[in-house]
Amino acid sequence: MKAKINRRTFLKTTLGAILASGLPAFSLPHALGKPKKAVREFRFSASPAKVNLGVGPDFVAWTYNGQVPGPEIRVREGDIIRVILKNYLPEDTTIHWHGVPVPNAMDGVPEVTQKAVMPGKTFVYEFEARPAGSYIYHSHVNYQLDQGLYGALIIEPSHSRDLHDREYTLLLEDWVMMDGGGVANTQRRPPMGMRRGMMRRQRSSGPGRTPLLEPVYDGYAINGRVYPEMNPLGVGKGDRVKLRILNASSATIYDLRLAGHALTITHVDGNPIQPVETDVLRIGMGERYDVEFVANNPGTWLLGARERGFGEGMLRIPIEYKEVRRKEPVPPIFHRGLRFATYWDFQALHPLDKSVSVPADRFYPQTLSGGMHSPFWTINGQVYPDAEHLAVREGERARIGYWNHSMMPHPMHFHGHFFKVVNPSLPYERWILKDTVIVDPMQHVEIEFLADNPGKWFHHCHNLYHMEAGMANVVAYQAD
Residues 408-437 interacting with Cu ion (rule: CB under 5 A): 410
- Cis check: omega of the bond before 385, within 30 degrees of 0: yes
Please select the residue that binds Cu ion; options are 171, 265, 461, 464, rule is CB under 5 A.
461
Please select the residue that binds ligand C2O; options are 44, 419, 458, 465, rule is CB under 6 A.
458
Question: Of these partners, Cu ion, ligand C2O, none, which one is at the site of residue 420 (CB under 5 to 8 Å by kind)?
Answer: none
- CA contacts within 13 A on the Cβ side of 49: 17
Q: Measured from the CB atom, is 191 or 329 closer to Cu ion?
A: 191
Residues 246-305 interacting with Cu ion (rule: CB under 5 A): none
Q: Measured from the CB atom, is 225 or 288 closer to ligand C2O?
A: 288
d(CA 169, CA 237): 20
Residues 286-345 interacting with ligand C2O (rule: CB under 6 A): 286
Question: Of these partners, Cu ion, ligand C2O, none, which one is at the site of residue 254 (CB under 5 to 8 Å by kind)?
Answer: none
CB of 404 to Cu ion, least distance (A): 9
Q: Report the 10 Å Cβ neighbour count for 320.
A: 19
Task: Kindly write out the interface string for residues 367-406 of this chain, putting x where it contacts Cu ion by CB under 5 A and - elsewhere.
Answer: ----------------------------------------
Q: How many residues does the chain have?
A: 480
Closest CA to 244 of 220, 261, 268, 224: 268
Q: Measured from the CB atom, is 27 or 463 closer to ligand C2O?
A: 463
Residues 269-288 interacting with ligand C2O (rule: CB under 6 A): 286
Residue 134: partners with Cβ closer than 8 Å, 6 or more residues away: 152, 153, 154, 169, 244, 246, 267, 269, 270, 288, 289, 290
Q: Measured from the CB atom, is 417 or 462 closer to ligand C2O?
A: 462
Q: Measured from the CB atom, is 135 or 465 closer to Cu ion?
A: 465
Whose CB is nearest to ligand C2O? 98
Q: Report the 10 Å Cβ neighbour count for 78.
A: 16
Which range of residues in 64-72, 331-339, 448-456, 466-474 is near Cu ion by CB under 5 A? 466-474
Q: Is position 384 an interface residue for ligand C2O (rule: CB under 6 A)?
A: no
Question: Of these partners, ligand C2O, Cu ion, none, which one is at the site of residue 413 (CB under 5 to 8 Å by kind)?
Answer: ligand C2O
Looking at residue 161, its amino acid is R
Quote the strand ranges of 157-232, DSSP E: 166-175, 219-222
CB of 472 to Cu ion, least distance (A): 10
Chain center to CA of 125: 18
Kindly report the backbone phi and psi dihedral angles of residue 455, in degrees, each rounded to the nearest multiple of 5, phi listed first.
150, -170
Q: Measured from the CB atom, is 266 or 406 closer to Cu ion?
A: 406
d(CA 186, CA 183): 9
Q: Report the 10 Å Cβ neighbour count for 189.
A: 14
Residues 226-265 interacting with ligand C2O (rule: CB under 6 A): none
Please select the residue that binds Cu ion; options are 98, 138, 420, 466, rule is CB under 5 A.
466
How far is the first Cα of the chain from the last one, in angstroms, to the nearest whole number? Answer: 48
Under the phi-then-psi rule, with left for phi > 0, alpha for psi from -120 to 50, and beta for the rest, what region is 328?
beta
Q: Is position 417 an interface residue for ligand C2O (rule: CB under 6 A)?
A: no
Please select the residue that binds ligand C2O; options are 183, 460, 468, 469, rule is CB under 6 A.
460
Under the phi-then-psi rule, with left for phi > 0, alpha for psi from -120 to 50, and beta for the rest, what region is 312?
alpha
Q: Measured from the CB atom, is 244 or 460 closer to ligand C2O?
A: 460
Q: Measured from the CB atom, is 62 or 458 closer to ligand C2O?
A: 458
Contact 348, 270 (CB under 8 A): no
Q: Measured from the CB atom, is 263 or 472 closer to Cu ion?
A: 472
# binding residues, ligand C2O (CB under 6 A): 10
d(CA 173, CA 159): 31
CB of 458 to ligand C2O, least distance (A): 5
Residue 30: partners with Cβ closer than 8 Å, 6 or more residues away: none
Question: Of these partners, Cu ion, ligand C2O, none, which one is at the site of residue 140 (CB under 5 to 8 Å by kind)?
Answer: ligand C2O
Alpha-carbon torsion, ordered 393, 397, 403, 404, to 10 deg:
80
Please select the residue that binds ligand C2O; options are 98, 420, 434, 456, rule is CB under 6 A.
98
Q: Measured from the CB atom, is 371 or 411 closer to ligand C2O?
A: 411
Please select the residue that binds ligand C2O; options are 41, 42, 113, 140, rule is CB under 6 A.
140
Q: Measured from the CB atom, is 384 or 458 closer to ligand C2O?
A: 458
Q: Is position 138 an interface residue for ligand C2O (rule: CB under 6 A)?
A: yes
Under the phi-then-psi rule, with left for phi > 0, alpha for psi from -120 to 50, and beta for the rest, what region is 316?
beta
Please select the residue that binds ligand C2O; options are 316, 415, 417, 434, rule is CB under 6 A.
415
Contact 197, 79 (CB under 8 A): no
Question: Of these partners, ligand C2O, Cu ion, none, which one is at the site of residue 286 (CB under 5 to 8 Å by kind)?
Answer: ligand C2O
Handedness of CA 198, 199, 205, 208 (dihedral sign): positive
Binding site for Cu ion (CB under 5 A): 410, 461, 463, 466
Binding site for ligand C2O (CB under 6 A): 96, 98, 138, 140, 286, 413, 415, 458, 460, 462
